[in-house]
Amino acid sequence: MNWVVELVLRVVAVLAFLVLTVLFLIWLERKVLGRIQMRMGPMRTAPYGVLQPVADALKLMTKEGLRPQGADTWVYHLGPVVAVLPALLVWVTIPFTGSLVVQDMRLGAFYIVAVSGVSVVGMVMAGWSSNNKYALLGAARSAAQMISYELPLVLALLGVVMLAQSLSLGDIVAQQSPWPYLLLQPLGFALFLVAGLAELARNPFDIYHADTEIVGGPFVEYSGIRWALFFMAEYVNLFAICALASLLFLGGWKGPLLPPILWFLVKTYAFVFFIIWLRAALPRLRIDQLMTLAWRYLVPLAFANILLNAFYLYFELPAWTLSLASLALLGVAVVPLYRHWSGRAVVKARLADRVGMSKAESQA
Amino acid sequence: MNGVFRALGTTFKTMLRHPVTVQYPDEQLPVSPRRRGFPRLLVDPEVGELRCSGCGICARHCLTQALKVTMKDNPNFAAGKSQRKKIVDKFELDVGQCTECAVCIEMCNSGGIEMTKEWCAPSTSRQGLRRDLAQQNGSAEAVH
C-alpha cells in the first residue's frame, strides 16, 4: 500500500510543479519579450507582474466555453484533453535528479517518444471538429510538421541512446561523466534542438499557429478553459523538450557546487530562455521551407549521425574522434544549408526577381 | 543565414538596454516644451474678472464642438467697476473632445483665452471630462 501512496504523492508533486512552471514560463516569456522590445512587460499584478499569469488563468477559467454551431461536439470537447494528456504523461519518466522522478523506466526514452507522438492527434481532432477552414488548415499543417520533425528528433535521440547503451534517462545522465554528450555529439545536439523547436511549433516554426495567416490554427474556435488546456500543453511540452535537451546533452543534474536540482533547472531554463529569444528574433518559415529543412537536410543528417556513432562504437575509437567527426559533419551540413537559404545564387535570383518586377511595373 | 545571427545579436543587445516605456500614469515622460495643452480663460488684472464676455464665437468655431459657453450680466458693470456689460457665466470644455488646435484663441475677440501645458486629464466618467473653465481659471501653467 505504501508504494501506492508514494506514487500518488509523486504524481501530485510533479503535476503541481508543472502547473507552477507553466505560470512562471508565461510570465518569463512576456517579461523577456517585453525587454527585447524595450518594454517592461507585465508590471501591474503584484510586484513585477508576477501574478499576471494567475490573473490570466482565472480569467480563462471563468470565461464561457464557446462551441461553433457546426462543430463535432464529442471530438471538439475531447481535442484539448488528448493534446494535454501526452504532454503531462511524458513527465512520468523525466527525472529532475537521480532520485526525484515519478518512475525511472528502463525504456524511458522510448516511452517519451511514443507518448509525445500522440499529441498531434489532439491537434487534428481540434482542427477537424471546429468546422472552421483556418482550424482545418492549421490541423493539416500541424500533422505535416509534427510527423516530419518527429523523425529527426527521434533519430537524434537514438544517437544518444547508442552512446549510453540504455533507454533509461537516469542511465543516460549517469553515462555523461566527465564530458556531457554535447561535446561528443554537437551534430546530434543541433538536430535535437532544431527538430525540438519544430515539434514545439515555436518560432521560426510556428507555422500551424501562424496568427497572421490562419489566426491561431487548430485552436481558433476554442475559448475559456479548453483553450487554456492547449496553452498549458504547449508550455509543458516546451519545458519537457528543454529538460530533455539538458538531460540528453548537458548532463542533466550533474555539476559542481550547486545542488543537483538547481543544476537541472539552470540548464533547462537556459534552453527556455534561448527559445524565447529565438521567438523575438526570427520570422516564420514558409511551409515548403519547413518541409525542405526536415526531409532534405535534417533526416539525412540524422542518419549520418547514427552511422557515425555506429562506426565509433564498432571500432571502439577514442572519444575525441567522434567529437571531431560530428563537428566536421555539422560544418559540412551548414554549407549546403547556407547556399540554400542565403547563398550567392539565391541572392542573385532574388535580385533578378526584383529587377524583373520593377521592369514590368515601369512597362505597365 | 547571416541574418539569423544578426537578428539574435540585435535582440540580445536591445534586451540589455533600459526600457523606453514608463509606468504611466505613476511615472510620466517629459513632454516637449513646445507642446500645447488645453485652453484656459485669462483674468483682467485691473478689474479682477475674466476677460471672456461669453460671446460664444469660440464655441461656434470649435472643430470638435468641445466648448459650450453661456453669458450673464456683469455684476461689476452694474456696480460701476467694469466696462464689460456681459461676462461669461459657464465655459464648459470637454477635454475628451478638445484637440488643442487653438482655433478658439484665433477667434476670440476679447483676448480672453490662452493655451496651457496641461495635456493629461484622465477620468473614469464622461462627465469627469467636462470642466467649467470659468470656475477654475489660472490653475494651469500657461504657454508663453
CATH of the domain at B57: 3.30.70.3270
> Could you tell me the three cell numbers for A346?
539565391
* Cβ pairs A/B, distance under 8 A: 42
Domain that holds residue B76: 32-132
Residue B143 reports pLDDT greater than 50: no
Q: Are A132 and A46 contained in the same domain?
A: no
Name the nearest CA neighbour of A300 among A342, A327, A334, A333: A333
Look at chain A and count its residues: 364
pLDDT of the residue at B66: 93
Q: Does the beta carbon of B13 lie under 8 angstroms from any beta carbon of chain A?
A: no
Best mutation site among B6, B11, B14, B26 for testing chain A: the one with the most A CBs within 10 Å?
B11
Q: Are A173 and A299 contained in the same domain?
A: yes
Q: Which residue has the higher pLDDT, B91 or A288?
A: B91
Q: Which residue has the higher pLDDT, B135 or B95?
A: B95
pLDDT of the residue at B139: 45
pLDDT of the residue at A343: 65
Chain A residue at shortest CA distance from B12: A36
Listed in sequence order, the residues at least 6 apart from A336 whose beta carbon sits closer than 8 Å to its beta carbon are A297
Cα–Cα distance measured from residue A205 to residue A78, given in angstroms and rounded to the nearest whole number: 26
- Mean pLDDT, residues B37-51: 87
> Could you tell me the three cell numbers for B100?
488643442
Cβ-based contacts of B17 with chain A (< 8 Å):
38
Q: Are A92 and A47 contained in the same domain?
A: no
Structural domain includes residue B37: yes
Confidence of residue B3 (pLDDT cuts 50, 70, 90): confident
Domain that holds residue A39: 18-62
For A122-190, give the DSSP string: HHHHHHHHTT-HHHHHHHHHHHHHHHHHHHHHHHHHHHHHHHHT-S-HHHHHHH--SS-HHHH-HHHHH
As a whole number, the mean pLDDT across chain B is: 86
* CA distances in angstroms from B92 to B54, B122, B127, listed in the order given: 11, 16, 11
Confidence of residue B37 (pLDDT cuts 50, 70, 90): confident
Test A281 with B4 for CB contact under 8 angstroms. Answer: yes
**Shortest Cα distance, chain A CAs vs residue B45, angstroms:** 47
Structural domain includes residue A3: no
Helices (H), B85-126: 103-107
Residues of chain A with pLDDT under 50: none
Structural domain includes residue A101: yes
Q: How many domains does chain B have?
A: 1
Which residues are registered as beta bridge partners of B70? B90
Which residues are registered as beta bridge partners of B86? B73
pLDDT of the residue at A284: 85
- Mean pLDDT, residues B1-17: 86
Are A289 and A268 contacting, i.e. CB atoms less than 8 angstroms apart?
Answer: no
Structural domain includes residue B140: no
Going by the DSSP 8-state scheme, the letter that residue A93 receives in this structure is S
Q: Are A168 and A23 contained in the same domain?
A: no
Confidence of residue B137 (pLDDT cuts 50, 70, 90): low
Cα–Cα distance measured from residue A46 to residue A43, given in angstroms and rounded to the nearest whole number: 7
Residue type, A299: V
